[in-house]
């Protein structure tokens, strides 16, 4: 029987924070045997570096020129763990837990809005996706990073649904947080991420919208797999 050649594709998943993008991207990647790239983790790692090196002005806003100057000293990689999960490395150090803390979440949006930071991260993301066969999640993946991605998903869910998810996640990790604080952080970040001048979050014209507020994980997995099969021509 003649074997048809299967070409790997790029799957771009964009959406607001805590929309469930990472979970769906990770699960889809595992199911179809693709790599997974969490671009939010990269902006978080830059933010952690800035926090740890005091690259903030007295009014607590990022010291943009110091951060730009530090970019050549910031090396971000990902290490696959024995259990298959992926950890973010900042200059060789595993910072996976640290970049998920509230102090990083609270400081990341203005840093992700710096054009030079974005250019450096986007270049790295494009390099990592060169061979395709990858699921990439973020805010500007379908619009800027991989505008030719064969499959683009734009995930939407209300701020309250997303805050509830993040709150639950943090409580499960033992963090002492309150829901109102988490909701305020989600709303604040939505605003910065969608109104910044440099590649704001927006749905690419050819992205498929998914509102997963009322979907179970299994329903979401099945829906995604269907989209993957169609886009990959399987
Ligand atoms: O998805 P996340 O919450 O881990 O993202 C962290 C921050 O990084 C968030 O403020 C949005 C920003 N981000 C971005 O600007 N572009 C991306 N491709 C991914 C994340």
177: CA distance to ligand 1 center in Å? Answer: 21
| Ramachandran region, residue 91 (left: φ > 0; alpha: ψ -120 to 50; beta: rest) | left
Check if 140 has its Cβ closer than 6 Å to any atom of ligand 1.
yes
| Closest residue to atom 6 of ligand 1, CA basis | 40
- Contacts within 8 Å (CB) and 24+ apart, 96-104: 96/41, 98/48, 99/41, 99/44, 99/45, 99/47, 99/48, 100/44, 100/173, 101/175, 102/170, 102/175, 102/177, 102/181, 102/185, 103/51, 104/44, 104/47, 104/48, 104/51
Q: Mind listing the pLDDT tens digit for each residue in 66-98? A: 999 999 999 999 998 888 888 999 999 999 999
Contact between 152 and 208 (Cβ < 8 Å): yes
Check if 118 has its Cβ closer than 6 Å to any atom of ligand 1.
no
Distance separating alpha carbons of residues 123 and 38, to the nearest angstrom: 14
121: CA distance to ligand 1 center in Å? Answer: 11
Check if 16 has its Cβ closer than 6 Å to any atom of ligand 1.
no
Q: What is the pLDDT along the chain (234 residues), one digit of tens a residue?
A: 455 567 999 999 999 888 888 889 999 999 999 999 999 999 999 999 999 999 999 999 999 999 999 999 999 999 988 888 889 999 999 999 999 988 998 899 999 999 999 999 999 999 999 999 999 999 999 999 999 999 999 998 889 999 998 899 889 988 888 999 999 988 988 898 889 888 888 899 999 999 988 888 999 999 999 999 999 998
Contact between 182 and 175 (Cβ < 8 Å): no
Assign 152 to helix, strand or coil. strand
Contact between 137 and 13 (Cβ < 8 Å): yes
Check if 162 has its Cβ closer than 6 Å to any atom of ligand 1.
no
Cα angle value 42/166/192 (rounded, 5°) = 55
Q: Which phi and psi (to 5°) does residue 146 adopt? A: -130, 75
* Stated pTM of the model: 0.90
Question: Crossing angle for the helix pair 39-52 and 102-112, nearest 10 degrees?
Answer: 100
1: CA distance to ligand 1 center in Å? Answer: 46
């Amino acid at each position: 029987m003649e074997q048809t050649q299967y070409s790997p594709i790029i799957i771009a998943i964009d959406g607001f924070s805590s929309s469930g993008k990472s979970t769906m991207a990770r699960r889809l990647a595992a199911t179809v045997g693709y790599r997974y790239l969490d671009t939010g983790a990269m902006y978080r790692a830059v933010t952690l570096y800035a926090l740890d090196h005091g690259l903030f002005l007295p009014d607590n806003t990022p010291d943009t020129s110091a951060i730009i100057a530090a970019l050549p000293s910031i090396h971000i990689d990902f290490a696959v763990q024995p259990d298959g999960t992926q950890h973010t490395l900042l200059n060789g150090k595993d910072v996976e837990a640290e970049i998920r803390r509230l102090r990083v979440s609270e400081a990341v949006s203005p840093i992700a809005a710096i054009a030079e930071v974005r250019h450096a991260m986007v270049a790295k993301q494009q390099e990592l996706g060169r061979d395709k066969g990858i699921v990439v999640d973020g805010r500007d993946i379908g619009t800027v990073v991989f505008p030719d991605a064969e499959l683009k998903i734009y995930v939407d869910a209300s701020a309250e649904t997303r805050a509830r998810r993040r709150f639950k996640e943090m409580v499960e990790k033992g963090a002492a947080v309150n829901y109102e604080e988490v909701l305020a952080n989600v709303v604040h970040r939505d605003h910065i991420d969608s109104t910044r001048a440099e590649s704001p979050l927006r749905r690419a014209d050819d992205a498929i919208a998914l509102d997963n507020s009322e979907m179970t994980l299994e329903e979401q997995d099945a829906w995604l797999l269907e989209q993957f099969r169609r886009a990959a021509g399987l």
